[in-house]
Amino acid sequence: MVLNMKKKVLFSLILLSTIVLIACGAETTEDQDEFIGAAINYTITGIEPGAGTTTLAREALENYDNLSGYELDESSTAAMLTALSSAYSNEEPIVVTGWTPHWKFAQYDLKFLEDPLGAFGAAENINTIVRQGLEEDMPEAYTILDRFYWEVEDMEEVMLMTEDYGMSFEEAANEWISQNEETVEQWTEGVGEVDGTRIELVSTPWDTERASTAVVAEVLKRQGYQVTDTPVDPSVMFQAIATSDGDASVAPWLPATHGAFYEEYEANIVDLGENLQGAKIGMVVPTYMDIDSIEDLEPIE
Ligand code: PBE
């Protein structure tokens, strides 16, 4: 009798686990999509309201039919990274606005969602812009700024030194310069020294631009310039260069990220072209999520 009871329990357990297994196996990708939209509360975790990425994310929510009614949580890069970290450690779904170069791609397994409407552009460059008249007023600085060009890996090295070794951006820039003298020599070759001429760099507050601006600032200092750096919102950065409040910026992300600001001020700035190629922005998710495209996010019922 007792044995019989045990058998019954065992049988029920096997039956139950079989049902559970079948149910799980039957879950299609589509079911998971439906789960994702609701699970993220139909909310994309965004960054600063003034970021170019935010402008494009707002447009994406308007242009993708399936995202109608979704919200963009505009807060800060730090808040986005905190949300990403906690979702990631719990393997919970999350969709953030993200970009590369950035350490989050080294820290976590992440992927950009495909963007069939091109809401976030394709490959981005980072450009150097200067105020009108800089070439005549500060030819030495102009030449260095015009020549300044580096690779994604270079920028990542500087950012990594600040992340992993707790260096300031100034320290990291100096260290990078001492390890890359030949590259720096290409920017400064034949350029005369100046005697304390003031130059005002304008930048944005993200690590990518803190890294590039710190390197350019150090190179200009070694040439004899007295350099100031003012990090501001992207729109203010373009405005400052257009009105000659600032002299130069190595921070514009183009053609998409800061495209709208660029167009507004294009007539009154001098564009010296790319200083880095191979940047990218978009909607980013952990690779454990079973969606590949922005269009896979299910519409609100
Ligand atoms: N970012 C990093 C900035 C530019 C650099 C992509 C977050 C933005 O304006 O969106």
Stretches in the chain below the pLDDT threshold 70:
1-34
The residue whose CA has the least distance to atom 4 of ligand 1 is 253
Please report the pLDDT score of residue 150 as a whole number. Answer: 98
Query: Ligand 1: which residue has its CA nearest to atom 2?
Result: 206
Nearest-angstrom CA–CA distance, 114 and 122: 10
Angle between helices 181-188 and 207-222 (to 10 degrees): 70
Residue nearest to ligand 1 atom 3, measured at CA: 51
**How many Cβ atoms are within 10 Å of 188's Cβ, its own excluded?**
18
Which of 96, 126, 202, 257 has most ligand 1 atoms within 8 Å of its beta carbon, as the pocket-test mutant? 257
Helix or strand run (H / E) with residue 84: helix 77-89
57 within ligand 1 shell (Cβ under 6 A)? no
Q: How far is the CA of 7 from the centre of ligand 1 (A)?
A: 63
Ligand 1 centre to CA of 206 (Å) is 7
Q: Write down the pLDDT at residue 28.
A: 46
Q: How far is the CA of 128 from the centre of ligand 1 (A)?
A: 15
Give the pLDDT confidence score for residue 107 in this predicted structure: 92
Question: Does the CB atom of residue 52 touch ligand 1 within 6 A?
Answer: yes
Residue 285 CA to residue 63 CA, distance in Å, equals 20
pLDDT at 35: 86
pLDDT > 90: percent of the chain: 87
Give yes or no for a contact between 270 and 145, defined as CB atoms under 8 angstroms apart.
no
Strands 124-131 and 269-286, sheet pairing: antiparallel
Q: How far is the CA of 85 from the centre of ligand 1 (A)?
A: 19
Question: Cα–Cα distance between 190 and 187 in angstroms, integer?
Answer: 9
* Tokens read off for 136: 């005549």
Q: Are strands 226-231 and 198-203 parallel, antiparallel or unpaired?
A: parallel
Residue 21 has what pLDDT? Answer: 45
